[in-house]
Amino acid sequence: MAAIRSEYNVAAFDRGVNRLVESYRAIPPGSTVRLAKKTSNLFRKRADVSAPGLDVSGLDSVISIDPATRTAQVAGMCTYEDLVDATLAHGLAPTVVPQLKTITLGGAVTGMGIESSAFRAGLPHEAVQEIEILTGTGELVVARPDNEYRDLFFGFPNSYGTLGYSVRLAITLEEVEPFVELRHVRFTDLDTMEATMTAVADDHVYDGERVDYLDGVVFSADECYLVLGRQTDEPGPVSDYTDRDIYYRSIQHDNVDTPKRDRLTIRDYLWRWDTDWFWCSRAFGAQNPRIRRFWPKKYLRSSFYWKLIGYDHRWNIADRLNARKGLPANERVVQDIEVPIDRTADFMRWFLREVPIEPIWLCPLKLAEPSPGAAEQPWPLYPLQRGRTYVNVGFWSAVPVTPGHPGHTNRLIEEQVSELGGHKSLYSESFYPKDEFSRLYGGEAYSALKNRYDPDGRLLGLYEKAVKQQ
């Protein structure tokens, strides 16, 4: 089958690249370069900057899809929602689709995207064949694992726009079936869950049935679940969690001997977490049945909740409401961390004892095989060991502020994760001392990349961008 190539998207992309380069040249020398972008899936407060930024309009589409080679050319600001809609029309999907619709492909690659296929497919940047990047010097370069910009290709993941911005990405796709059959397997202790998760991640099978997707939810130390998904073309009824029913509540059941089964369309499976932003929509009352019945369906999505969070960031609404009730302000504890899979139960026991947040998301991951680069740790800014399985642990809420110790709980988590041989993603607030941060996130390798691709410091440094300054 010939490549599906929209000339409108190609022309729009070319115009977008021209606007991007012109907008870079219009920024005065010595000024910090940033994106002129109103929205973000980062959970750090963005600085209020009135100076003009890079114009990325026109860089938000799928440029082309080739079903025969299962590849796509995609503009860096294209959202996964638009990308998935385009690829599913050909029975294809990105190898890893992060959970929220408005995450962009470029954002997932320069950050650390993950989802339930990561135990078999790796991370989003491992499906990238080449990246066209606007560097800090204003140069457009095409980085591949085998050309003169290979250092940038491997150093780009986890750089969060501090080495440059992705303009175009060529990615590998995979074939998908129209439905996903789910098994919700309940456990009453963390060690048994960890052992089962390890076996499934290694073998891609549970109880004689193939597993294509693997994640889990911990409600408490004695109520936790693995959710096992299998792609299928078998027709049959499917559930709908885009309106009244809430997906994460559907996981729960009492039978530890027999998994609960469910079915979704592949599209609804990929976006199963977006409708209620995992479970975080409850903070806005969206899970209250009396409110939900009147909540417009089009606003049951993460992008709308982000707007509500933006209002809170701007006016400190939650802290003001707490103050009126005589309660302390909140410390946001919104993090995704990775620990080796054999330390999952250890971390969860510590977390459930020390941090009053639930539920908690679990998602195993392993670097893809084969993957670009032969090194044991090919991605220097987020050095995971090849051949080792990790578990992403996601927790997103708030705890009371510890007086006199801003970021106290987040810092405790950072220390515990390091003690267990893990890392944490940098999309949210971090509190590392500079020397520890350098050791964990690239150190000398990052400095060499910064010197080559942003020698004048037009882009913020990774530490300055990621770590909350006290």
Q: What's the chain look like in SS3?
A: CCCEECHHHHHHHHHHHHHHHHHHHHCCCCCCCCECCCCCCCECCCCCCCCCCECCCCCCCEEEEECCCCEEEEECCCEHHHHHHHHHCCCEEECCCCCCCCCEHHHHHHCCCCCCCHHHHCCHHHHEEEEEEEECCCCEEEECCCCCCHHHHHHCCCCCCCCEEEEEEEEEEEECCCEEEEEEEEECCHHHHHHHHHHHHHHCEECCEECCEEEEEEEECCEEEEEEEEEECCCCCCCCCCCCCCHHHHCCCCCCCCCEEEEEEHHHHHCCCCCCCCCHHHHHCCCCHHHHCCCCHHHCCHHHHHHHHHHHHHHCHHHHHHHHCCCCCEEEEEEEEEEEHHHHHHHHHHHHHHCCCCCEEEEEECCCCCCCCCCCCCCCCCCCCCCCCEEEEEEEEEEECCCCCCCHHHHHHHHHHHHCCCEECCCECECCCHHHHHHHCCHHHHHHHHHHHCCCCCCCCHHHHHECCC
Inter-residue contact 288 to 260 (CB < 8 Å):
no
Inter-residue contact 52 to 58 (CB < 8 Å):
no
Q: With CA atoms as reference, report the closest residue to 230 among 254, 205, 197.
A: 205
Looking at residue 327, its pLDDT comes to 74
Please give the structure tokens belonging to residue 11: 């022309």
Looking at residue 1, its pLDDT comes to 44
Q: What is the pTM of this model?
A: 0.94
Looking at residue 7, its pLDDT comes to 53
Q: Residue 421: left (phi > 0), alpha (psi -120 to 50), or beta? A: left
Write the CB contacts of 289 (distance below 8 Å, at least 6 apart in sequence).
Answer: 244
Residues in the chain: 470
Looking at residue 470, its pLDDT comes to 46
For the stretch 232-239, contacts whose Cβ atoms lie closer than 8 Å and that sit 24 or more positions apart, written own/partner, are 232/177, 232/179, 232/180, 232/181, 233/177, 233/178, 233/179, 234/179, 234/181, 235/179, 236/179, 236/263, 237/263, 238/179, 238/263, 238/264, 238/265, 238/268, 239/263, 239/264, 239/268
Looking at residue 410, its pLDDT comes to 96
Please give the structure tokens belonging to residue 326: 């005589």
Looking at residue 214, its pLDDT comes to 98
For the chain, which domains are there? 4-175 (3.30.465.10), 179-272 (no CATH)
Q: With CA atoms as reference, report the closest residue to 304 among 279, 277, 342, 278.
A: 277
Looking at residue 436, its pLDDT comes to 96
Q: For residue 292, how far is the Cα from the chain centroid? A: 27
Inter-residue contact 118 to 364 (CB < 8 Å):
yes
Can you list the residues of the chain whose pLDDT is less than 70? Answer: 1-8, 37-51, 313, 317, 321, 373-374, 468-470
Looking at residue 22, its pLDDT comes to 95
Q: With CA atoms as reference, report the closest residue to 338 among 373, 385, 372.
A: 385
Helices 302-315 + 317-324 axis angle, to 10: 60
Rounded to 5 degrees, what angle do the CA atoms 306, 53, 433 make? 65
